[in-house]
Structure 1
Amino acid sequence: MRRLSPRELRRLSRRFGLTFEELEGVEEVLIKLHDKQLVIKEPHVLVMKISGQRVFQVMGEVEEIPVEEKPPAIEIKEEDVQLVAAQAGVSLEEARKALEATKGDLAAAIIMLQESKRMSRQSS
């Protein structure tokens, strides 16, 4: 197969609706996956436009960074704290701690607090 000169390549690209453009000034490319991140520092990025779509070609040194999963923050409503405190007969602070321990599960928090009270009465 014969090599194409840059001029011939440009002409063929235009005929097929392809355009190539180098993206200047790119410092880093970050690709986030569910268990890790791929960081490409000082990459060479080429953008190809084909039929209205853009395709990015990224070349460079890849660094893999594992991602630690953070549990989602639990939002505990004040009404829930008051309900648990009233049902279990404990302070608002104890009710809030129980809701945090049970990840916002009202029934589990009430049962946990009632069991805790029952155990402390038995040991007295």
Structure 2
Amino acid sequence: MFGGGGMNPRKMKQMMKQMGIDVTELDAEEVVIRTADEELVFSDVQVTRMDAQGQETYQVVGEPEVHEAGGSAGVVEAGDEDETDAETGGDAAIPEDDVELVATRAGVSKGDAREALEAEDGDLAAAIARLE
């Protein structure tokens, strides 16, 4: 959980419950944080969810592997194996998640987002900048 300055963990949980704060440990296998510049992949991770007055907050503890965004060292999710072969040159070279991300960030259609990604060789930041 988090430090209580030497406070008994049981007492800490009891006080948090009185304040309406619910803390739950999640059995997460992997956490991926994608930014415009990089991906942070936490494989051996501890995740805690805290619900306070209807607002959920997640705490991620662990050492991430850092991958460049849009690079060939990306994470392959189940069912996406055919989308990661950049040598095919077709629509399969650009993952659908990347297309959706660019379309959302730039406020354009998926078709326009895919065209920008193909023009920028899959570089998410460059594709978004191109469309803005």
- Taking structure 1 as the reference length, the TM-score comes to 0.51
Q: How many residues align?
A: 73
Quote the residue 1:19 is aligned against: 22
Quote the residue 1:4 is aligned against: 7
d(CA) in 1 for partners of 2:41, 2:5 = 37
Cα RMSD of the aligned pairs, angstroms, is: 2.5
- Taking only the aligned residue pairs, the percentage that are identical comes to 29
Q: Which runs of 5+ in 1 are unaligned?
A: 75-124
| Structure with more strand by fraction | 1
Shift of 1:66: 0.4
- Taking structure 2 as the reference length, the TM-score comes to 0.48
Kept in 1, the 8 Å contact 2:34–2:69? The answer is no
d(CA) in 1 for partners of 2:55, 2:11 = 23
Of 49, 60, 63, the residue aligned with 1:61 is 63
Higher radius of gyration, 1 or 2 = 1
d(CA) in 2 for partners of 1:40, 1:2 = 27
d(CA) in 1 for partners of 2:10, 2:114 = 57
Quote the residue 1:52 is aligned against: 54
Q: Which runs of 5+ in 2 are unaligned?
A: 72-93, 95-111, 116-132
